[in-house]
Chain A
């Protein structure tokens, strides 16, 4: 491929990415995702507050028990709180990223616009790549949103032991776990385009959580893509650490999903 052709392709990709962002304008799903993340941090803050006030926990009954259960074994300070934020970002993030990918890919079928895209003078693969770019940026912003939220909630609770290095360290770990989660989402995109809608990929995403949990406590965990995220976050409990092979498995999973999604979009019949 000539340089001129590559530059033209690059320009087209920029245009496609820009239009993919434009499609999100005024979308309630975008705002809902940020609200839900905010709600989750607020709930963690509430639980932390209850755990810090045992008398209050007792008077609140079940909610208090849940709060004590959530923070069982965790220190009731910044380290404990950020640890919970990280765990939530890792496991919740994997399922949330699936929702984002399902929405971005599935809406073209749900809204009947896929056929409009496929007859445009744009290489079809660029739509797939652009959608992954948008999903990655959306999820990155969502993950980044956790940090100021956590900071505000932690400061409001007056937690002890704030350490900037700890705080940014957790930020870095959230970024890495986001990347690991992103590796598994290309298969969700494949199912969304192959089944032309929302339901099957959402069912699949839920099923992967079951798989993650099923294999999480076995020796297979470092080799099962969905369990690897749990191992990295420590949500699977005391168990094996992800190995170099685990990261190769995740890379292969992403490439497999990406390749099959590209193949589907460029070759499959569209009878929408």
Chain B
């Protein structure tokens, strides 16, 4: 299989700081891959290495089957991205900012209006980017990433700054792109709930090492399971369970959620 993202043995040091020690990724075409990690775990550094913004000290990267070294322009023409914070030229309008992206990716003239519609930016089309709210700046950055209809989206915290309705919209948009157009989405996020709802597969990076890759279904099957007992008399529940003689009103297995799983894997409280 040709993976949308294939990275092997990625490592990056900044002086004495080992930002990424070893990350191996195999992201399948058309899937949504959630990349989780605490602050400083190496998520953004990994994304920068994937995009060729920084050079790894070790390891190789292939996007959509090709290496940036072999065909940088060809590969990047098929990749859309949002790296760390949303950024735009503040003196230019939303439309003009997108026009720059359009010209440099040689996209058709209609692409700007189309992507503004997708991200609900039409009402702000002629507003300067410097006067946009944080949420709309994020929408503009997402629009920039989507404008040239990429096959692979690499998004660093795509929900940053969006209000709850915006998060739901973007979630729907990414799901649709993956399901209907086969776009692969690789997204990092600190919003565990967001990743849990959207990602088909989750990779957990901790202290520069990818400690686990897990399918959403696998997560539900394979993680620790607790038994939640509902009883009329909570004080007597312990005794009753010990004696196994009390009538229970409900007994249901509760799967560990992603948050608990993540915290257990990365050494936090669960």
Asked if B88 is an interface residue, CB under 8 A from chain A, the answer is: yes
**A27 interface residue, CB < 8 Å from B?**
yes
Contact assessment for A118 and B73 in the assembled complex, using a CB-CB cutoff below 8 Å: no
A119→B96 CA distance, assembly (Å): 19
A169 touches B (CB below 8 Å): no
In the complex, whether B247 has a CB less than 8 A from a CB of chain A is: no
Q: Of the candidates A28, A111, A269, which one forms a contact with B87 in the assembled complex, judged by CB atoms under 8 Å apart?
A: A111
Size class of B's contact patch? 20 to 34
CB distance from B185 to the nearest CB of A (A): 16
Distance A231 CA – B133 CA, assembled complex (angstroms): 52
Q: Are B103 and A19 in contact (CB under 8 A)?
A: yes
Q: B90 in the interface, Cβ–Cβ < 8 Å? A: yes
Q: What number of A residues sit within 8 Å (CB to CB) of B?
A: 26
A121, B105: Cβ atoms closer than 8 Å: yes
The answer to the question of B100 belonging to the interface, with a C-beta cut-off of 8 Å to chain A, is: yes
Decide if A23 is an interface residue (CB 8 Å cutoff).
Answer: yes
Query: Does A115 interact with chain B (Cβ within 8 Å)?
Result: yes
Q: Which residue of B lies closest to A27 (CB)?
A: B91
| Count of A-B residue pairs with CB < 8 Å | 79
Interface check B23, CB cutoff 8 A: no
Q: Give the shortest distance, in Å, between B142 (CB) and chain A (any CB).
A: 12
B83 at the interface (CB under 8 A from A): yes
- Find residues 112-126 in chain A having any chain B CB closer than 8 Å to their own CB: 112-113, 115-116, 118-123
B53 touches which of A16, A112, A121, A269 (Cβ 8 Å): A269
The majority secondary structure among interface residues of chain A is loop
Give the distance in Å from the alpha carbon of A112 to the alpha carbon of B89 in the complex: 9
Q: A115, B84: Cβ atoms under 8 Å?
A: yes
Whether, in the assembled complex, B237 has its beta carbon less than 8 Å from a beta carbon of chain A, the answer is: no
B76 in complex: contacting residue of A22, A25, A115, A119, CB < 8 Å = A119
Q: Are A119 and B83 in contact (CB under 8 A)?
A: yes
Point out the residues of chain B lying under 8 angstroms from A269, CB to CB.
48, 53-55
B79 is an interface residue with CB less than 8 A from chain A: yes
Bound-state CA distance A120–B148 (Å) is: 11
Q: In the assembled complex, which residues on chain B have CB atoms less than 8 Å from the CB atom of A122? A: 73, 104
Q: Which of A16, A25, A121 contacts B77 (CB 8 A)?
A: A121
In the complex, residue of chain B having the shortest beta-carbon distance to the beta carbon of A118: B53
Return 20 A-B CB contacts under 8 Å, by A number.
A15-B103, A15-B104, A16-B104, A22-B96, A23-B92, A25-B91, A25-B92, A27-B91, A112-B87, A113-B88, A115-B53, A116-B87, A116-B144, A119-B51, A119-B52, A119-B53, A120-B101, A121-B76, A121-B77, A269-B48
B interface residues with partner A (beta carbon < 8 Å): 14, 48, 51-55, 72-77, 79, 81, 83-85, 87-92, 96, 99-101, 103-106, 128, 144
